[in-house]
Amino acid sequence: MLAKIFIKPKKGILDPQGKAVSGALGRLGFGRIQEVRIGKYIEIKLDDQDRSSAQAEVRRMCETLLVNKVIEDFTFEITGE
Amino acid sequence: MPKIKAGVIVFPGTNCDRDTVAALTQTAGCSVDAVWYETKSLRQYQLIVIPGGFSYGDYLRAGALARFSPVMEALQEYTDRQGLVLGICNGFQILLEAMMLPGAMQRNTSLKFICRDVFVRVERNDTPFTLLYKRGDVLKIPIAHADGNYYGSGQTLADLEHSRQVVFRYTDAGGKTTGQSNPNGSLDNIAGLCTPAGNILAMMPHPERAADRVLGSDDGKKIFLSIKKALA
């Protein structure tokens, strides 16, 4: 099975990369942008297992290493592949 | 007086270890070991320095992978006994990721790697690392980082203020904290923090690169001399 993890800067935290990209898109004529936030996307292939134990495991991975909870939020989904 | 026994931790990707060893040896007369990241005990040392560099290539986040190295468990044990730790640049990032100090580093607001001299003001001289400075002294020390934009929540900043944990702030040459003198976007112009007990100091500027006149500034030298005096 496959875990798809989405990490993004916490709400209210300045995202310098997002700001720069927002400015660049504006200069390219894309005028209807309110805000750009840039995060990370991580895929983890897991051994097949019970879905709820996979969810608990991935949550632990996020909280231990993958995400810095001071500045980042995360969501994830687990799919068959 | 016996020499201070200091350990400089080396991770894969650390690159300021030799400069740091030289600064400790030449300015404070320390007997220094480069300590490999797989080391499991730091008990024999009176001072541990986590030098600058790019531990584990800064993969995932600066300091995030180094934090789980074997030596970090030894460091925890060492600091539980109030051992002195100086974290410089990547060392600061590692100490934040290890939650030995609060907050996190973000990408510089300019999105650029910045390598140049900056000015920092000494906010506290009652730590083992700064006791030879005067409060308000302005030091010219280089920074060299891409992720030095300090962030802490409103509560964290209030706590830091309350426990007097800010040791250095970015200023102009006259010692004024201004937006322009803040090179990376750090909240409250924070350039260096200590623990409430004062035994751990983390700073983004590199004192080892300002420890001898020949390097353009020796304003960082007193950090090493302060440690020597504190341990005497």
CB-CB under 8 Å, A70 with B149: no
What pLDDT, on the 0 to 100 scale, is given for residue B86?
98
Segments of chain B scoring below 70 in pLDDT: none
Mean pLDDT for A57-66 is: 97
Beta bridge pairs of residue B6: B32, B47
- Please list, in sequence order, all residues whose beta carbon lies within 8 angstroms of the beta carbon of residue A63, skipping any fewer than 6 positions away: A69
Q: Which domain holds residue A37?
A: 2-79
The CA-based angle B148-B15-B116, given to 5 degrees, is: 45
Phi, psi dihedrals of residue A16, rounded to the nearest 5° = -60, -35
Residues of B with CB under 8 A from a CB of A: 60-61, 64-65, 68, 96-97, 102-104, 106-111, 149, 151-153, 185
Q: Find the CB nearest B104 among A16, A20, A70.
A: A70
Tally of domains in chain A: 1
Residue of A nearest to B108 (CA): A16
Domains of chain B: 5-231 (3.40.50.880)
Q: Let me know if B162 is a catalytic residue.
A: no
CB-CB under 8 Å, A14 with B185: yes
Q: Which of B97, B75, B93 is nearest to B84 (CA)?
A: B75
Contacts of B96 in chain A (CB under 8 A): 70
Percent of chain B scoring above 70 in pLDDT:
100
What pLDDT, on the 0 to 100 scale, is given for residue A1?
94
- The CB density around residue A63, as the number of other CB atoms within 10 Å, is 11
Residues in chain A: 81
What pLDDT, on the 0 to 100 scale, is given for residue B1?
73
CB-CB under 8 Å, B68 with A16: no
- What's the CA gap between A65 and B72, in Å, rounded? 15
CB-CB under 8 Å, A16 with B106: yes
Contacts of A66 in chain B (CB under 8 A): 60
Mean pLDDT for A5-22 is: 93
Mutate to test the interface with A, among B65, B72, B107 (most CBs of A within 10 A): B107
**Given pLDDT bands bounded at 50, 70 and 90, which one contains residue A81?**
low
Contact of B48 with B9, CB cutoff 8 Å: yes
What pLDDT, on the 0 to 100 scale, is given for residue A12?
87
Residues of A with CB under 8 A from a CB of B: 13-14, 16-17, 20, 65-66, 68, 70-71
Q: Find the CB nearest A71 among B65, B68, B106.
A: B106
In which element (H, E) is residue B74 found?
helix B70-80
CATH number at residue A48: 3.30.1280.10
Active-site residue identified among B16, B30, B89, B194: B89
Burial B190-204 (b: 16+ CB within 10 A, else e): bbbbbbeebbbbbbb
